[in-house]
Structure 1
Amino acid sequence: MAGDILGFVGVGRMGGPMASRLLDAGHRLCVYDLSEAATAPLVARGAQLAASPAEVASIADVVLISLPTPDVVRQVVLGGNGGIINGSSVRLVIDLSTTGPGVATEVAAQLAERRIGWVDAPVSGGVTGAKAGTLAIMVSCPTPTLQKVEPVLKVFGRPFHAGEKPGLAQTAKLANNLLAATALVATSEVMAMGVKAGLDAKVLIDIINASSGRNSATQDKFPRAVLPGTFDFGFTTGLSYKDVRLCIDEAEALGVPMVVGAAVRQMLAVTKARFGADSDFTFIAKVLEEWAGVEIRGK
């Protein structure tokens, strides 16, 4: 696809850095986002601005999307005259969002009726990984399609082929995000306990990271966003709650019980109610701080 113009719909917190990396790699871009502030830096670098997702899909034959919720993905791809499905040029849609397997299967089927291909490509690694090009990219699509899109995906990070069936990569992403949220909840609980007992938070984190309890929260989220008291890791409580809810819904549909997952979902619901959907999901630790009457900070 080198030299061809790529479409990109949704260039916000995650999509913006990924679109910027495509420009860095020499790709030409046509972009669309509801926010002018999101598109402006890309347009300033030479990206073409479209007036709708359908216009993007009438300019580019490959359109990438990075959107916040399953409903938004469904609307942007399938909705009305402005949807990507109504573009005159599009032949392939690459979904970098976390939508869950249900929406992926539904959208892929409707696109197939128009002879438009679909690639699930949800990403993990946050804004930091998007900027650095170190994302893990879970991909489900036919192998020949993977060979076509892999050079583009490698601009963002490392692709992992989960299988050919639509939705498989989404299932993998939901599993990952539940584990990430679970680590954050459990770590918040033990850190609140340790600090209330008299341990220094930094010392306890160092002990855990040298021991069998280390996890993504102790190794990254707490040192970066909780111990300094910034609570700015870069992923919102609302999106984390959405991902965990989708994971549990999918598990229930498959007949797989998720007892721990349900508790994590409830903790995210509490955090969302207390601090709002736009709060950073490390605010889970703030909930534990309030309940325990402590502050989890490093000296």
Structure 2
Amino acid sequence: MAAQVLGFVGLGRMGGPMSGRLVEAGYEVCVFDANGAALEAAVGQGARAASSPSDLASRADIVFVSLPTPDIVRAVVLGEGGIASGSRARIVVDLSTSGPRTAKLLAEGLAKSGKIGVDAPVSGGIAGARNGTLAVMVSCPRETYETLEPILKIFGRLFYTGEKPGLAQTAKLANNLLAAAALVVSSEAVVMGVKAGIDPKVLIDILNASTGRNSATQDKFPRAILTRTFDFGFATGLSYKDVRLCIDEAEAMGVPMVAGAIVRQMLAVTNAKFGPDSDFTSIAKVVEEWAGVEIRG
């Protein structure tokens, strides 16, 4: 059994499996979530429940956070009764996609209470969280990274981006923009093929054997679009949030994102039409409706 006590706040679709992997690895894990059912499920796997983020940070040495939006992350970490007010934790790791400006704010706020902020957003979806095959992007002081490395490896493959707060968040936003862009453009291309009379499965096979292959054609179309299930596992609202964050950060840096703005608009349409809880593969349904055809494999 490891000597450190680990804390985990946010036991949703990603945080639940990730906290479970820490328990399975033999760590003593203290957990908190505002959702009682999620908290009960984690306790059932062997974790111990805390009564608040502050209580958790008073019982754990290292705290991990996996939450849906930057506002929630900031409130849970720096707000009243938040992690920063806990007496024991010295390292706080944000696994969320919260953006580089939030990462900097957290690092500065946590430093005031003698804690080190680490941004370590992950990519790879629910299956990656469950199986320990996530890409984990990390930025923090090198010494802190070396402390965290054996624990973070439980989640997947590590990519150290440097010491500056927000570098890992920037990498994650770049990834999520490209993932959404691939889905948007692939949807347009496949709908065009279907309207011309090509079997969509044949077209996807052609693309995946050719230079047009991408993460959407290789994974999302076969699993969630050709099957008409639209259940890849990533919410439209979260994808829209991530792409908006990316565009905002790029503009703040003076980096033009013309194509990125179009992707953001397509997500805005999908979000408005199907709702934030819909799967982001619903983007394909928007293009289908405009073209008057359906992609059926």
Provide the rounded CA distance (Å) in 2 between the counterparts of 1:37 and 1:292.
42
One-letter amino acid matched to 1:2: A
- CA-CA distance at 1:5 after TM superposition: 1.4
- Residue of structure 2 in register with 1:46 after alignment: 46
- Residue of structure 2 in register with 1:74 after alignment: 74
Provide the rounded CA distance (Å) in 1 between the counterparts of 2:126 and 2:62.
23
- Residue of structure 2 in register with 1:37 after alignment: 37
Provide the rounded CA distance (Å) in 2 between the counterparts of 1:128 and 1:105.
29
Q: Does 1:28 align with 2:22?
A: no
Provide the rounded CA distance (Å) in 2 between the counterparts of 1:244 and 1:182.
10
Provide the rounded CA distance (Å) in 1 between the counterparts of 2:104 and 2:82.
17
Q: Secondary structure at the match of 1:139?
A: strand
Provide the rounded CA distance (Å) in 2 between the counterparts of 1:91 and 1:151.
17
Q: Any idea what the Cα deviations from partners look like across 1:32-89, whole Å, max 9, x if unmatched?
A: 0011121222101221111110010010011000000000000000111x10011011
- CA-CA distance at 1:3 after TM superposition: 2.7
**Where in structure 1 do 4 or more consecutive aligned residues deviate above 4 Å?**
none
Q: Secondary structure at the match of 1:282?
A: helix
Provide the rounded CA distance (Å) in 2 between the counterparts of 1:37 and 1:198.
48
Provide the rounded CA distance (Å) in 2 between the counterparts of 1:27 and 1:203.
48
Q: Which runs of 5+ in 1 are unaligned?
A: none
- Residue of structure 1 in register with 2:177 after alignment: 178
Q: Any idea what the Cα deviations from partners look like across 1:180-199, whole Å, max 9, x if unmatched?
A: 00000000101111001100
Name whichever of 62-71 and 289-298 sits farther off. Answer: 289-298
- CA-CA distance at 1:2 after TM superposition: 2.5
Provide the rounded CA distance (Å) in 1 between the counterparts of 2:3 and 2:224.
40
Q: Secondary structure at the match of 1:159?
A: strand
8 Å Cα contact 2:85/2:113 also seen in 1: no
- Residue of structure 1 in register with 2:160 after alignment: 161
Provide the rounded CA distance (Å) in 1 between the counterparts of 2:181 and 2:99.
18
- CA-CA distance at 1:167 after TM superposition: 0.3
One-letter amino acid matched to 1:289: E
Identity %: 69
Q: Does 1:91 align with 2:90?
A: yes
- CA-CA distance at 1:115 after TM superposition: 1.1
Provide the rounded CA distance (Å) in 2 between the counterparts of 1:208 and 1:4.
48
Q: Any idea what the Cα deviations from partners look like across 1:81-102, whole Å, max 9, x if unmatched?
A: x100110111010110000000
Q: Does 1:6 align with 2:6?
A: yes
Provide the rounded CA distance (Å) in 2 between the counterparts of 1:222 and 1:24.
33
- CA-CA distance at 1:114 after TM superposition: 1.3
Q: Any idea what the Cα deviations from partners look like across 1:200-232, whole Å, max 9, x if unmatched?
A: 010000000000000000000010000000000
8 Å Cα contact 2:135/2:156 also seen in 1: yes
Cα root mean square deviation, aligned: 0.9
Q: Secondary structure at the match of 1:75?
A: helix
- Residue of structure 2 in register with 1:256 after alignment: 255
Provide the rounded CA distance (Å) in 2 between the counterparts of 1:2 and 1:217.
40
- Residue of structure 1 in register with 2:195 after alignment: 196
Q: Secondary structure at the match of 2:271?
A: helix
- CA-CA distance at 1:170 after TM superposition: 0.3
One-letter amino acid matched to 2:247: I
Provide the rounded CA distance (Å) in 2 between the counterparts of 1:180 and 1:113.
36
One-letter amino acid matched to 2:184: V
Q: Secondary structure at the match of 2:118?
A: strand
Q: Any idea what the Cα deviations from partners look like across 1:273-297, whole Å, max 9, x if unmatched?
A: 0000010000000111111111111
What is the count of residue pairs matched by the alignment? 297
User: Residues 99-114 of structure 1: matches in 2 within 5 Å?
Assistant: 99-114=98-113
One-letter amino acid matched to 2:126: V
8 Å Cα contact 2:140/2:163 also seen in 1: yes
- Residue of structure 1 in register with 2:268 after alignment: 269
Q: Which runs of 5+ in 2 are unaligned?
A: none
